[in-house]
Chains A and B, each alone.
Chain A
Amino acid sequence: MSGADNKDIKPENLLNSISETVIENGLKVICLRKIGAPIVSVQVWYKTGSVNERDGIRGISHFFEHMMFRGSKNVGPEEHARRINDVGGHCNAFTAEDVTAYLNSVPKEYLDMVLSLEADRMHNLSITEEILNTERKVIIEEFQGNMNQPLTKALLEFRTIFYNDHPYAISPLGRLEDINAITVDDCQSYYKTWYQPSNAVAVIVGDFDDNDRVIDSVRNTLGRVASGDGAGAAPSICVPRPLVRQKTWLTRRVDFDVPFLLVGFPAPASSDLDALHLEILQLIISQGETSRMHREIVRRQSLAVMVGGINQCLKWSGMSLFLAVFTPDVSPKRMEKAMVEQIESVKETGVTANEIDKVKNTTLTNRVFELYSAEQICHRLGYSETVEGDYKLWVERLDALERIDRDVLRETANKYWNESSRYTLYLRPKKVKPLFFFAGLARRIFTRKS
């Protein structure tokens, strides 16, 4: 099992161990041999997602994520998943804005089986009216499940307003009216355009014998898929453009018992070095018990119950978000002011060397623990290659962190986190229990600031 000394895949020399091959039909294959648990993970990432959709077929990428499990020429409906389960493995898939990825993990002796299964659905997918209509019902169930969560529903509306006329305005879930209208012809056209080897990346990580044999196996399976007719080229639907913003405040009444505030700013494309800078700043300001927001807003001022932040890193553009869950006795404007004060403090005085060290150690710890898992390594490589443009960016992030200049971080904060481009969403509970209100008020009055 474990216990092996994977000395060649330690964080400091990971790059030397990863091989990259583009086979004859244009498919890129990234391999990393990781000895230890006798398993292998195979992920196929297609460079298509909701950003590549147009009106009328919003949600078709997600539709495909489902259809890819509904059978192909040599594999019956759900048989892909069943065959993998039958050997003790597991599989899944997800659809995002820029990519759709298919994830498989199996005991290592079944690597060839997985490659054959992936090849069959890359080339020979069954798209029939009957299957389409059954899966449409499943997708509507999934869509309704999301809409039944008030927070999710509000956040989907927030992104629509935030991204405005950018294709990211619509989430990978798509639009219900489009999901109801997508036809077999739409699917066949989408499949032909985007599900091509030259538009895909296969990532293979695990306890296999050697890279050459793996590449031979790929050639004998995915390599036999015809290269297509030039499809998979640069997306014609997506028009990357800078987000033009103005300060915005949105209030929504929702059936959610606690007030919630989201403060967002436009962020750069994930491949931009500024995205890494914003990620570091986010960690310092909003992640963990020692973050600035937690210390000041949760502990000292006792305004919020929970604070956090996230950078939505996408291929063409992103969102830099801060959030707070608070109690009804605190006004949302007061909450926003408290959050903005922490952001402004970084813009004015920058971050400390101690804070940078913490980010470095946290990132290194995360990397070390990711490297225990073939599946997580696969995911990181696949994401960086398809969304950021190069898998090496993930590997080199630790080096980039070592070179971080505190002045550059401060400049980045000033560049992106401006009042003029700030979007705030306030989710106001429909009902507030009076006791909850007064208890919160009393707490803040009598809580001594430290």
Chain B
Amino acid sequence: MYSFPPMTEERLDGGLHVTWVPDKEQHGLTIALQVPAGEFSDPPSFEGTAEIAVNLMQKGTRSLDSEEFSEKIEQTGASLFVDAGDEHIVLGCKMLSKFAHDTVPLFWEMVCDPRMEKSEFSRLKREMLTALQAEYSDANALVNKHFYSLLCGASHPAGRMHTLASIKRISLGAVAGFYGDYYSPAQSSLIVAGDFDPGESVKKWRDLFSSWTAPAKRAGCIGRALMPLGKSRVRLIDKPDVSQSYIMVGHPVPGELSPNHHALALANYILGGGNFSSRLMASVRAGKGKTYGISSQISGNRQCGIFTISTATLNAQTAEVLETIFSVYRVLAEHGVTDDELEKAKQFAIGNMAFQLEGIGNIAEKLLWLRLYGRTKDYVENFGGAIASITKEQVDAAIRDHLSSQYFAIAVVGKKENVASQLQGLGDVETVSYRDNP
């Protein structure tokens, strides 16, 4: 039903996979490199290494110091962007096509030969430490970190968080080591999308990209599937100044590469992923007015999937909202979905694909997403048929197998004296201060 614009793919001598997407809609160009090693590849106790590495790469190259490099990028109106995920990192640049002949080589020098200067490293660390300090005031950030730590534990990379201590431990040598270990052409994918000459520009840039020959030393860490919970885990994060409780509830589910992925995604849309079309939104917000927003998500790592429900409500309503959440969840687990709900969830999934392919930025993002999971563009082009063929029985079976847990990880940031008693009965409650590390 949906298709990508014409494109060509090739693997260069150094092993880099390049996709060329000529698109004349506007005079813009996006170039994006994906390295399949993200924050899960941070060494334990040194969480933050991957993020510092990708940010430090943007602070100058062998031939240009940080100010000179920024000047050359910003002077042409170009801008760099980063997406640091659990199992991948994307580093890209959007630019006017009329400056691409200068900006693309500059971008490439940054990829192949970043300067990694001590003073820039120190400045970046200071920025990250300040950002972490600021998170103590952000209840949403706190509940998120504590939830993943509670569910996954320190032995799983999804349970390890950036902390002030982990950032302080990271050395410039470790960051340069991370770059040297994981940034190599043989493991990476590059997308060039936009207004470029498919003849001359491709020829010139192919030579340029082929000059990157760094050997692959290590493969990025893929988070292993989590075991089902044997009992519920409850953590109250005491933050005395908040009038609301910030709640996250969830449990492990299969990852993105599971054969049940589509069925689970449709079930999640019906439960809490579908905004006003979801059961949770209808019950907790529209029906009772107990929250501004509630949603559920399934995180998309290859093997390690995590199902979460997130919301916030006034402290006094914490127990009532949790009760409603569990009630809605159990009804789904016991009775499955209706034909009408499933049909609408399918229509959403199929219709929404049009938005995911609008413009070169979205196209580049989608192509890299496909590469990460080892999928071809046929995946998108056959997506409508794949979704349409899923039956109610398949969705109900996926719910029975994966969304009918008796046990949950439950993290609540709230005012202890108002919330603690409301969590009794959910399991053993561990109470920590919002100043404590997750």
A and B bound? yes
Do the beta carbons of A2 and B23 come within 8 Å of each other? yes
A272 within 8 A of B: no
Do the beta carbons of A141 and B358 come within 8 Å of each other? no
Q: Which of A127-158 contact B (CB under 8 A)?
A: 133-142, 144-145, 147-151
Do the beta carbons of B28 and A369 come within 8 Å of each other? yes
A212 within 8 A of B: no
A240 cross-chain contacts in B, Cβ below 8 A: none
A242 within 8 A of B: no
Question: Between A and B, how many residue pairs show CB distances below 8 Å?
Answer: 213
A88 cross-chain contacts in B, Cβ below 8 A: 347-355
Q: Which of B343-385 contact A (CB under 8 A)?
A: 344, 347-355, 357-361, 363
Chain A 244-259, CB within 8 Å of chain B: the 1/0 string? 0000000000111110
Which one, B70, B122, B134, B361, contacts A258 given CB within 8 A?
B134
Do the beta carbons of A36 and B361 come within 8 Å of each other? no
Chain B 122-161, CB within 8 Å of chain A: the 1/0 string? 1100110010011011110000000000000000000000
B292 within 8 A of A: yes
B12 within 8 A of A: no
B137 cross-chain contacts in A, Cβ below 8 A: 149-151, 254-257
B314 within 8 A of A: yes
Do the beta carbons of A81 and B95 come within 8 Å of each other? no
A148 cross-chain contacts in B, Cβ below 8 A: 139, 241-244
B2 within 8 A of A: yes
Q: How far is the CA of A134 from the CA of B71 in the complex (A)?
A: 53
Do the beta carbons of A372 and B26 come within 8 Å of each other? yes
Q: How far is the CA of A325 from the CA of B130 in the complex (A)?
A: 9
Q: How far is the CA of A306 from the CA of B276 in the complex (A)?
A: 38
Do the beta carbons of A371 and B26 come within 8 Å of each other? yes
Q: How far is the CA of A6 from the CA of B138 in the complex (A)?
A: 43
Which one, A2, A255, A366, contacts B359 given CB within 8 A?
A2
B312 within 8 A of A: yes
Nearest B residue (CB) for A85: B277
Q: Which of B46-82 contact A (CB under 8 A)?
A: 66-67, 70-71, 74-79
A3 within 8 A of B: yes
Q: Which of A333-391 contact B (CB under 8 A)?
A: 354, 357-358, 360-366, 368-369, 371-374
Task: Please tell me the number of chain B residues within 8 Å of chain A, measured between CB atoms.
Answer: 74
Q: How far is the CA of A256 from the CA of B133 in the complex (A)?
A: 8
Do the beta carbons of B2 and A2 come within 8 Å of each other? no
Given contacts A85-B276, A134-B286, A141-B313, contact A363 B363 (CB under 8 A): no
Nearest B residue (CB) for A136: B289
Nearest B residue (CB) for A327: B130
Do the beta carbons of B126 and A2 come within 8 Å of each other? no
A87 cross-chain contacts in B, Cβ below 8 A: 347-348, 351
A235 within 8 A of B: no
Q: How far is the CA of A87 from the CA of B94 in the complex (A)?
A: 31
Do the beta carbons of B24 and A3 come within 8 Å of each other? yes
A295 cross-chain contacts in B, Cβ below 8 A: 67
Do the beta carbons of B292 and A2 come within 8 Å of each other? no
B3 within 8 A of A: yes
* 29 cross-chain CB contacts under 8 A: A3-B23, A36-B25, A39-B358, A69-B276, A77-B286, A81-B277, A85-B275, A85-B344, A85-B348, A86-B347, A87-B351, A88-B348, A89-B351, A106-B351, A107-B351, A141-B289, A144-B243, A145-B292, A147-B243, A150-B137, A256-B134, A256-B137, A257-B137, A258-B133, A289-B70, A361-B75, A371-B26, A374-B358, A436-B133
Where the two chains meet, the residues of B that have a C-beta atom closer than 8 Å to any C-beta of A are 2-6, 22-28, 66-67, 70-71, 74-79, 94-96, 99, 122-123, 126-127, 130, 133-134, 136-139, 241-244, 274-277, 281-282, 285-292, 312-314, 344, 347-355, 357-361, 363
Given A5-B25, A85-B275, A325-B134, 11 extra CB contacts under 8 A: A1-B363, A3-B5, A3-B24, A81-B276, A82-B276, A85-B277, A88-B351, A133-B289, A151-B137, A257-B134, A443-B122
